[in-house]
Chain A
Amino acid sequence: MIEFQNVGKTYRHEVVALKDINIKIDKGEFVFLVGPSGAGKSTFIKLLLHEEKATSGKIIMNDQDITGVSNRNIPLLRRSIGVIFQDFRLLPNKTVYENVAFAMEIVEAKSRDIRRQVPMVLGLVGLSDKAKKYPNELSGGEMQRVSIARSIINNPSIVIADEPTGNLDPDTAWEIMRVLRHINQRGTTIIMATHAKDIVDIMEQRVIAIEKGTVIRDDKKGVYGYED
């Protein structure tokens, strides 16, 4: 469902971020994206989110060639992708409920659907009793669960998590991984960039390692493979 064919990305001033990437990720896979900082992980994610355009090759998503997609259609493509960030990116002046509902409001969902869907997803990430709280009343793990709820509220087929456990202690990190795994088991593809060695090693999922702009490793049940 996601396919990179000879994809390359060169920024201005001839900075090569990615070159000749060939990857195929099927529906429902759980993929770890590992590699040193500045190796090309961020660029890879930016290409998936259409924040950047590939300078060569072809990207296919849900049977659709999206390489040359027009700026107008990018918002529509993004609706099929959920995103989770290391720093949560919640709106501080909105409650948990409102933060999640917000993602539905801006794609102009029906009020009835919003009222039905938001409590359901909050239940899924285990935050039913925190719906009326504001982000500053939550722990880091809870905030990240809100952002997960927000990322899946519009039923995307893919969730991209950019170091979702980077700001969390190990116990909380595992809590988040359980939520992500649960979402993955419901059929959502998950692509997670991470530096968390033990999580990658214990989860035994597919690992794609990027270094110096190329894929140096792509194992079905991989390990982290770096010492940091």
Chain B
Amino acid sequence: MKIKTMGYMVKQGFVGLWRNRGMSIASIGSVTASLLVLGVIITLVINMNNIALMGQSQFDNIQVYLEEKLENDEIDSIGTELESIEGVAYVEYESQDDALEKMKESWGEQGYLLDTLENNPLPNSYIVYFEELEASQTVVHNIQGISGVDEVRYYQDVIDNLINIADFVQLTGLFLIAILGLIAVFIISNTIKITLNARKQEITIMKYVGATNWFIRWPFVIEGMFLGLIGALFALTIVYFAYEYAYNLVYARFYALFAEYIVPADAMLQQISLMFVVLGIGVGVLGSLISMRKHLKV
């Protein structure tokens, strides 16, 4: 396509946009509204994933306590067995002496109290690191089946809940967005239809003179693209400022304690802007293609 032609297409797209301003505003509004809902959901989900991720780095290992009175080679074989379980990244052995050392360290100044112990009461253990958090349940289950293992300690409950909530939010969110997205597509296709009718005569002439189908279609596609893009930019602006406001609120109330877990506004904007623009344009193009399929026989 020639640059001059492209200029013509874009210009025609804008003319269409301007000619039925009322419907254009309605279309942009519907795109903005759907993307705003998406914004609420996506910021929630991103934050929850962020917390889960941070939790993961803290909880991505479990401690497997071994029975007492095991021989060294038995301990070794449990180690290899643990490593061979699917979903396990690697294991670390922590002897009871190591564990005591650690405890002393964490007790700090009171650590000397432990020196008075005659027998070390701590068990030998392995620290098992997961490849991914989601698989931990089965891994734990498998570990519990190994003979010589006394007890497994892990934080699955917390993480499970977090993942469940995130899944729920994501699912209901997707459902809502799908409905709102369909409404946006419908409104846009009606907007384009009006432009289409206004230009019916022009299109007929274009057809007789031998304009290619895409030459006729492009202005309408561009009109839809702009409707979607403008809607997306509005939504992005609103989400950004609203999120920043909420972030500052949390920061002021809970200080850095909690805010550490929350994604800052700029980083959030980076994560969602491409998605919003692509979705907005996609909805716009889809709307215009639908209206042309129905009303433009080229």
Contact = CB atoms under 8 A, between A and B. Distances in A.
Contacts of A150: 209
Interface in A51-89: 71-72, 75-79, 81, 83, 89
B207 A89 contact: no
Contacts of A102: 205, 209
Given A108-B2, A108-B5, A111-B4, A91 B211 contact: no
B208 interface: yes
Given A79-B209, A79-B210, A106 B201 contact: no
Contact of B208 (A72, A83, A108, A111): A83
Interface in B55-76: none
A105 interface: yes
A161 to B, nearest CB: 12
Interface of B is mostly: helix
B138 interface: no
A106 B209 contact: yes
A154 interface: yes
A100 to B, nearest CB: 11
B12 to A, nearest CB: 11
A89 B205 contact: yes
A105 B8 contact: yes
Contacts of A72: 213
B206 interface: yes
A122 interface: no
Given A105-B8, A108-B5, A111-B4, A78 B209 contact: yes
A75 B5 contact: no
Contact of A107 (B202, B204, B210, B213): B210
A183 interface: no
Interface residues of A, number: 21
Interface string A14-49: 000000000000000000000000000000000001
B240 interface: no
Contacts, number: 49
A181 B213 CA distance: 33
Given A75-B211, A75-B213, A106 B206 contact: yes
Contacts of A190: none
B210 A91 contact: no
B205 to A, nearest CB: 6
A78 B2 contact: no
B215 interface: yes
B203 to A, nearest CB: 10
Contacts of B207: 75, 78
Interface in B199-250: 201-202, 204-213, 215
Nearest to A99: B205
B211 A107 contact: yes
B209 A49 contact: no
Among A72, A79, A83, A105, chain B packs the most CB atoms within 10 A around the CB of A105
Contacts of B201: 89, 91
Contacts of A89: 201, 204-205
A223 interface: no
A92 to B, nearest CB: 8
A107 B208 CA distance: 11
A106 B208 contact: no
Contacts of B205: 89, 91, 102-103
Interface of A: 49, 71-72, 75-79, 81, 83, 89, 91, 102-103, 105-108, 111, 150, 154
Interface of B: 1-2, 4-5, 8, 201-202, 204-213, 215
Listed from nearest, the 9 A-B pairs whose CB atoms lie closest are A79-B210, A78-B210, A106-B211, A103-B209, A75-B212, A75-B210, A83-B208, A106-B206, A108-B5
11 contacts: A75-B212, A75-B213, A76-B210, A78-B208, A79-B209, A89-B205, A91-B205, A103-B205, A108-B1, A150-B209, A154-B210
Given A76-B210, A89-B205, A107-B209, 15 more contacts: A71-B213, A75-B215, A76-B212, A77-B210, A78-B210, A79-B209, A83-B208, A91-B202, A103-B205, A106-B206, A106-B209, A107-B210, A108-B5, A111-B4, A154-B209
